[in-house]
Amino acid sequence: MSFKIRNVYYLIAGILAILFAFTHAWNGQSIVLPTLEVNAIPIGAQTEFKYVWHIITAENLIFGIAFIFMSFQKGQSKTRLAAWVITTILVFRLVVILGITVLFDVSALKDTLIDSVAIVIYVVLIIKGITMKRKQTE
């Protein structure tokens, strides 16, 4: 059984997603989540915030693994629907991040720049992978 990369864009997107999962978890554990314990936030709210944080980490990890497997898949037409679904989730994630930020603290919009750029690059890579010519992926 040989592993031939059939979609380099999916491979890069998968590696990035796994990197995003680790950096998201690390940032949460080292910076964001410890602040919950310092402030007077009820334990129920702390728990909810922590699991919501880790849901994003888990999604990124699953997306990464999926794209790495999809990058080796012969017949890329079989993977396009999954790629479009993940792309849709990522676009809506960006809309929620930006929308909530604008709604509650427009001055914090600049703090979303790195995440926004990362998601846009990630989505562009996925779309490039989706739209690769059939001959290149077979």
Domain coordinates in residue numbering, the chain: 8-132
Alpha-carbon distances, residue 8 vs 5, 21, 127 (angstroms): 6, 20, 12
pLDDT tier, 39 (very low <50, low <70, confident <90, very high otherwise): low
**Percent of the chain beyond pLDDT 70?**
93
Per-residue pLDDT at 138 exceeds 80: no
pLDDT score of 101 more than 70? yes
pLDDT interval class at 98 (50, 70, 90): very high
State yes or no: pLDDT of 2 exceeds 70.
no
| pLDDT band at residue 112 using 50, 70 and 90 as cut-offs | very high
| Angle at the Cα of 20 from the Cα atoms of 17 and 26, rounded to 5 degrees | 145
